[in-house]
Amino acid sequence: MEEKLKQLESTFLSKISDVQTEHELGSLRAQFLGKSGSLSEVLKGLKDIDPKLRPVVGSLANQIRDRMESGIKAKQADLESLEIAKKIQEEKIDVSLPGRIRWMGTVHPLVQVQDRIVDIFSRLGFSYIQGPEIETDFCNFEALNIPKNHPSRDMQDTLYIDENRLLRTQTSSMQIRAMLSEPPPVRLVMTGAVFRSEAVDATHSAMFHQLECLCVDENVTMEDLKGTLEFFAREMFGNKTKIRLRGSFFPFTEPSVEVDCTCVFCSGKGCKVCKKSGWIEILGAGMVNPAVFEKVGYPSTVSGFALGIGIERVAMLLHDISDIRLFYENDIRFLRQFL
């Protein structure tokens, strides 16, 4: 019986050295140490041997079982570390390879300019609102005191949807919506896309963006408009910027002005951008025409000013961009310059 046990151990040892996987190790364990495994089989013969020899053979069997157990444990550990080594090998990262660059999205240059202007007016207490791109004839023309025979109402300039609806040609339409929905005082800054039936070239687009301000209260004067414009010009183009008002005409303001500021590039000395004049036109403005207040049902005791800025125009000036189409093509090489 002792012989059988030793035989068993040596078979076990030679088999375990061939084991390659945890699964094989599991079967080996069952084969030798399981309930009906080889060791149990041999030990069944224990009852047939001389009782005096039983303790000796029994203790030998126990030693062999312990050695087999620890052999299996050791093999298990070996297999595990082999597995880890294999994984490390497979998942090895070559840290010397150049990384993959993930480009971050950026704010579009037009939105950057818009955000800056909105921020300046917000600091003066103007609230930001938006309005629909599909407008009524009333908000876009009628209530803005633009008469039926006005050339801008021509099909050649305005994109109509039907007789009463059109794509807004100016953000001034939002002034009307705002005044129809809330009583004075109002102090609003508004932005959005506007549409015109326009042939597209380097300086014209059928769709572009405007920013509009409206301030209505009692005793709002031209002086308030001028102070607001001066603050805006300094914040936007630098502390030394001066403004100049030139008489102009818009149906919805009376008086109306065109606003120039000293050239951002030559500080008024005269250069290519300002065509040697030292001044650059940046926006249209004026005192709200009482006819507009009448259309929206505001009392005759109020007064106000309004102003409108072309966002593309300001962005083109600031960044020295000569073709408006660049804003809409979304060429990543162009956009990446405005991080």
Inter-axis angle of helices 22-33 and 54-90, to 10 degrees? 170
Say how many CA atoms lie within 13 Å of 218 toward its Cβ: 2
Nearer to ligand DAH, 12 or 175 (CB): 175
Q: Is 118 in the site for ligand DAH (CB under 6 A)?
A: no
Nearer to ligand DAH, 1 or 245 (CB): 245
Contacting ligand DAH (CB under 6 A), which of 308, 314, 316, 326? 308
x-or-dash string of contact with ligand DAH, 51-90, rule CB under 6 A:
----------------------------------------
DSSP letters along 169-181, please? Answer: S-TTHHHHHHHHH
Q: What is the Cα–Cα distance from 290 to 253, expressed in whole angstroms?
A: 8
Q: What is the Cα–Cα distance from 189 to 243, expressed in whole angstroms?
A: 20
DSSP letters along 7-72, please? Answer: HHHHHHHHHHTT--SHHHHHHHHHHHHSTTSHHHHHHHGGGGS-TTTHHHHHHHHHHHHHHHHHHH
Nearer to ligand DAH, 12 or 250 (CB): 250
Q: Is 306 in the site for ligand DAH (CB under 6 A)?
A: yes
Q: Is 285 in the site for ligand DAH (CB under 6 A)?
A: yes
**Contact assessment for residue 244 and residue 256, using Cβ atoms and an 8 Å cutoff:** no
Contacting ligand DAH (CB under 6 A), which of 9, 137, 212, 260? 212
Closest chain position to ligand DAH (CB): 308
Q: What is the Cα–Cα distance from 112 to 321, expressed in whole angstroms?
A: 15
Residue 316: CB minimum distance to ligand DAH, A = 16
**Contact assessment for residue 174 and residue 132, using Cβ atoms and an 8 Å cutoff:** no
Residue 152: CB minimum distance to ligand DAH, A = 9
Q: Is 215 in the site for ligand DAH (CB under 6 A)?
A: no
Q: Is 167 in the site for ligand DAH (CB under 6 A)?
A: no
Nearer to ligand DAH, 32 or 141 (CB): 141
Q: Is 250 in the site for ligand DAH (CB under 6 A)?
A: yes
3-state secondary structure of 167: strand
Q: Is 192 in the site for ligand DAH (CB under 6 A)?
A: no
Q: Which residues bind ligand DAH (CB under 6 A)?
A: 170, 172, 212, 250, 253, 284-286, 306-308
